[in-house]
Amino acid sequence: MKTMLNKITLVAIAAVMLGTSACREKNNEPVPISNGSLTMKFEHTWGSSQAWEPNKTFVHARTNDTLTFTMLKYYISNIRLQKSDETWWSQPNSYYLVDASTNASPTITITDVPGTEYIAMQYTIGVDSARNVSGAQTGALSVINGMFWDWNTGYIMAKAEGTSPNANTVSKTFAIHLGGFAGPNKVVTTKNIDFRAEANRYVAIGDVYNPTMTVKVDVASLWKTAPGVGTISTVHMEGPQAATFGKDFFGSFTFSNITLK
Amino acid sequence: MPGISKHIVLLICLIPGILACNKKSGTTENTVIPPVAEYPLRPAHFPPAVYQHTSNPYSTKGYELGKRLFFDPILSANNTISCGSCHKPASAFADGGVALSKGVDGKTGKRHSPAIFNMAWNKSFMWDGGVNHIEIMPFAPIINPVEMAQDMRELIHELNTHPAYPEMFSSVFGKDSIDDQQLFYALAQYMSNLVSADAKYDKMKRGETTFSAEEMEGYRLFQTHCNACHTEPLFTDNSYRNNGLDKTFSDSGRYRISQRAEDMGTFKVPTLRNVALTPPYMHDGRIKTLTDVVEHYATGVQPSATLSPLLIKNGNPGLQLNDTEKQRIIQFLYTLTDSSFVAQHTH
């Protein structure tokens, strides 16, 4: 029933998009003046079509592993928006810890966005190297969040934990902790979204416009190329293993849609 | 224009100097324990410090708060262990003769507690250099199950509900409540200003005293054989080296962090300041006396793929020192003891 509805919505969205694809010029409405907000919603899937949920059991199509997730967290940082005059607004102190451990579609809200029309956006998955080498931090970056390695300084950019009968640990748990802020095994990934190309329009933020952008994240992509949990049940440091998981998982983050208001 | 602004900067810099002069007037020699410094201590014969207090401005109140926290067992899970339990001021903040320090419930780790001073010049922390910043350093012992085994959230809660800490923190940092950043900032203010630079060696360097003939000979031998790694004036070059303790490595040292083959069995070169006060020696505290350390360098160096070439002489591992040379080097090492530093921090 749910998938049926989803399909209908998809078709409807596609139809609307086709109808407007030629129209890449500015909105006809006046450009917003007062500050607004942009909400990012992270929709997790298992493979391309199945909805993902925490504490639900999935079978991986490639590795055949049976996996139940008890924790899924990652950092989103350094959010930037490009105005229609092509200048960039960078959110100050832009760090969010997205937690999908209890909610399949968590959101973060970027507030105090200067009111105007935007043509593009940039965000980073993980924490930039500067904050990994500058000592004590606060908020999302506080060590209290359990996303920081004490013995080998650096943020854990993403954590996926859970149980699997296929795991090679006595407790039948798996824990994939992805870090690496610099060097050949860096996992931090920057994403660019061109609103005109991907949403076929300018995005107004401010006044009555506080849009919500949906990003799709395929949790199964963690094992797109990495061996299954029978071979690697725990990753607890940066290195080639974390780099493989990180490249595949962070590579799956894709723009889905953005609402008008 | 740039000339004018330079003058203003100069003037501002001079003001604290003038104030300090006024305070000192009347006393000819400094015999009393000095009060807590009003600015970070940075001896003139030291290179610029790595830690610059950029986002954590130094204050005497901040230093005092950090000191109180350093010696407060509230930082550990069952309120029994403080930083000072393993880093004892009387031993230049090493663990007074203990090879492997005891944490909560008497648990031990596998590494020896290093001395804590001149930390503002450290480029990295821990024997393997795994920690990259003085502010973040205390996080490791606080949560380590064999050290303080503390839950960070619980600790911050305990501090916020403590009868004295909320006021002390707010008077230093001006925030409504205590968070982990303020805890780390306070500890950094204390640790980065534990500065030891008043040993006989320093006095000799400043022309306030002279070395005996034996000490001078030891100094020359030191410069020939040891200074490449234990580099003056901090007596470490902050590098990672294998000084030949083992042929195979139960503790992989720097390799654990870097995963590079050439780092297998290498450890951060420790400072030798106050070394006479900090036995036993090496990352696992395996060597009990300085005599044995020097004997190790003379005859005990073990060959391995990562052994530093500086410890190979004429194709053989070891520095091939004779008995007099060993004796002189030890005599020089004693000139690195800074009793006024110890006195200042044990009172």
Are A153 and B179 a contacting pair at CB < 8 A? Answer: no
Confidence of residue B8 (pLDDT cuts 50, 70, 90): very low
Are B180 and A142 a contacting pair at CB < 8 A? Answer: yes
pLDDT at site B21: 35
Confidence of residue B14 (pLDDT cuts 50, 70, 90): very low
Q: Which two tokens stand for residue B87?
A: 């880093």
Which residues in chain A are contacts of B134 at CB distance < 8 A? 135
Mean pLDDT of B109-126: 96
Are A151 and B130 a contacting pair at CB < 8 A? Answer: yes
Domain membership flag for residue A5: no
Number of domains in chain A: 1
CA–CA separation, A82 and B58 (whole Å): 39
- Contact at 8 Å (CB) between A115 and A32? yes
Domain membership flag for residue A48: yes
- Contact at 8 Å (CB) between B219 and B227? no
Q: What is the pLDDT of residues A190-225, one digit of tens each?
A: 999 999 999 999 999 999 999 999 999 999 999 999
Give the range among B104-108, B142-146, B238-242, B265-269 with minimum mean pLDDT: B104-108
With pLDDT > 70 as the criterion, what percentage of chain A qualifies? 89
Domain membership flag for residue A76: yes
Which of A135, A138, A144 is the closest to B136 by Cβ?
A: A135
Beta strands, E only, chain A: 36-46, 50-51, 57-59, 66-83, 88-90, 95-99, 107-113, 116-125, 148-149, 154-163, 173-179, 189-194, 203-205, 212-218, 234-235, 254-258
Tell me how far CA of residue B296 lies from CA of B214, B243, B318, in angstroms: 21, 9, 8
Mean pLDDT of A131-150: 97
Q: Domain containing A182: what range?
A: 30-258
The candidate with the shortest Cα–Cα distance to B321, out of B296, B293, B297, B298, is: B298
Mean pLDDT of A130-159: 97
Which residues in chain B are contacts of A135 at CB distance < 8 A? 55-56, 133-136, 184, 188
Which one-letter amino acid corresponds to residue B304?
S
Are A150 and B140 a contacting pair at CB < 8 A? Answer: yes
Q: Cis before residue B138, ω within 30 degrees of 0?
A: no
Q: What angle do CA B185, B189, B192 make, to 5 degrees?
A: 120
Chain A residues within 8 A (CB-CB) of chain B? 132-138, 142-144, 148, 150-153, 239
Three-state DSSP state, B240: strand
Mean pLDDT of A157-162: 98
Are B133 and A153 a contacting pair at CB < 8 A? Answer: yes
Average pLDDT, chain A: 91
pLDDT at site B38: 87
Are B180 and A144 a contacting pair at CB < 8 A? Answer: yes
Any idea which residue has 């403590």 for tokens?
B162
Residue A213: CB atoms within 10 Å: 22
Q: Cis before residue B280, ω within 30 degrees of 0?
A: yes
Three-state DSSP state, B238: coil
Tell me which DSSP letter residue B236 carries. Answer: -
Match domain B60-191 to its CATH number in 3.10.620.30, 1.25.40.850, 3.30.930.10, 1.10.760.10.
Answer: 1.10.760.10
Mutate to test the interface with A, among B56, B69, B135, B136 (most CBs of A within 10 A): B136
Domain boundaries, given as residue ranges, for chain B = 1-32, 60-191, 200-345
CA–CA separation, B310 and B266 (whole Å): 14
Tell me how far CA of residue A260 lies from CA of A30, A206, A208, in angstroms: 14, 11, 10
CA–CA separation, B343 and B89 (whole Å): 9
Tell me which DSSP letter residue A212 carries. Answer: E
Mean pLDDT of A108-134: 98
Mutate to test the interface with B, among A145, A149, A151, A235 (most CBs of B within 10 A): A151
Mutate to test the interface with A, among B150, B181, B185, B256 (most CBs of A within 10 A): B181
Confidence of residue B34 (pLDDT cuts 50, 70, 90): confident
Instruction: Say how far residue A89 (Cα) sits from the centre of its chain.
Output: 20
Any idea which residue has 């919500």 for tokens?
A212
Which residues in chain A are contacts of B259 at CB distance < 8 A? 239
CA–CA separation, B342 and A73 (whole Å): 47
Domain membership flag for residue A4: no
Which of B143, B156, B179 is the closest to A150 by Cβ?
A: B143
With pLDDT > 90 as the criterion, what percentage of chain B qualifies? 85
Q: Which two tokens stand for residue A45?
A: 């899937």
Mean pLDDT of B89-97: 95
Q: What is the pLDDT of residues B233-282, one digit of tens each?
A: 999 999 999 999 999 999 999 999 999 999 999 999 999 999 999 999 99
- Between A99 and A5, the higher pLDDT residue: A99
- Counting one residue from chain A and one from chain B, the pairs whose CB atoms sit within 8 A come to 60
Are B139 and A144 a contacting pair at CB < 8 A? Answer: no
Domain membership flag for residue A216: yes
CATH code for the domain defined by B200-345: 1.10.760.10
Are A135 and B134 a contacting pair at CB < 8 A? Answer: yes
Q: Does ipTM top 0.90?
A: no
With pLDDT > 70 as the criterion, what percentage of chain B qualifies? 90
Is the Cα dihedral B172, B177, B178, B179 positive or negative? negative
Which residues in chain A are contacts of B256 at CB distance < 8 A? 152
Chain B residues within 8 A (CB-CB) of chain A? 55-56, 126, 130-136, 139-140, 143-144, 152-153, 156, 179-181, 184-185, 188, 256-257, 259
pLDDT at site B2: 38
Q: Given the DSSP bridges, would you call strands A203-205 and A36-46 parallel, antiparallel or unpaired? A: unpaired
Confidence of residue A27 (pLDDT cuts 50, 70, 90): low
Domain membership flag for residue A17: no
Are B152 and A143 a contacting pair at CB < 8 A? Answer: yes
Confidence of residue B127 (pLDDT cuts 50, 70, 90): very high
Are A136 and B256 a contacting pair at CB < 8 A? Answer: no
CA–CA separation, B47 and B55 (whole Å): 21
Minimal Cα distance from B150: which residue of A? A144
Mean pLDDT of B17-27: 36
A182's CB contacts (< 8 A; 6+ apart) are A129, A132
| Residues β-bridged to residue A89 | A81
Please indicate whether the domains covering B60-191 and B200-345 agree at the CATH topology level. Answer: yes
Prediction pTM value: 0.90
Which of A133, A150, A239 is the closest to B139 by Cβ?
A: A150
Which bin fits B108, alpha (ψ -120 to 50), beta or left (φ > 0)? beta
pLDDT at site A21: 36
Domain membership flag for residue A50: yes
Which residues in chain B are contacts of A148 at CB distance < 8 A? 136, 139
Which of A133, A143, A144 is the closest to B132 by Cβ?
A: A133
CA–CA separation, A241 and A151 (whole Å): 19
Which residues in chain A are contacts of B127 at CB distance < 8 A? none
- Contact at 8 Å (CB) between A244 and A216? no
Mean pLDDT of A240-255: 98
Are A135 and B135 a contacting pair at CB < 8 A? Answer: yes
pLDDT at site B12: 38
Domain membership flag for residue A211: yes
pLDDT at site A26: 59
Q: What is the pLDDT of residues B175-214, one digit of tens each?
A: 999 999 999 999 999 999 999 999 999 999 999 999 999 9
Does the pLDDT value for residue B25 go beyond 60? Answer: no
Q: Which two tokens stand for residue B85?
A: 């339990």
Q: What is the dihedral of CA B200, B205, B207, B213, to 10 degrees?
A: 60
Confidence of residue B1 (pLDDT cuts 50, 70, 90): very low
- Between A14 and B94, the higher pLDDT residue: B94
pLDDT at site A29: 73
Does the pLDDT value for residue B22 go beyond 50? Answer: no
To the nearest whole Å, the CA of B21 is away from the closest chain A CA by 35
To the nearest whole Å, the CA of B119 is away from the closest chain A CA by 14
Mutate to test the interface with B, among A143, A145, A148, A149 (most CBs of B within 10 A): A143
- Contact at 8 Å (CB) between B158 and B80? no
Confidence of residue B32 (pLDDT cuts 50, 70, 90): low
To the nearest whole Å, the CA of A226 is away from the closest chain B CA by 20
- Between A5 and A259, the higher pLDDT residue: A259
Does the pLDDT value for residue B122 go beyond 90? Answer: yes
Q: Which two tokens stand for residue B220?
A: 């020359």
Mean pLDDT of B310-332: 97
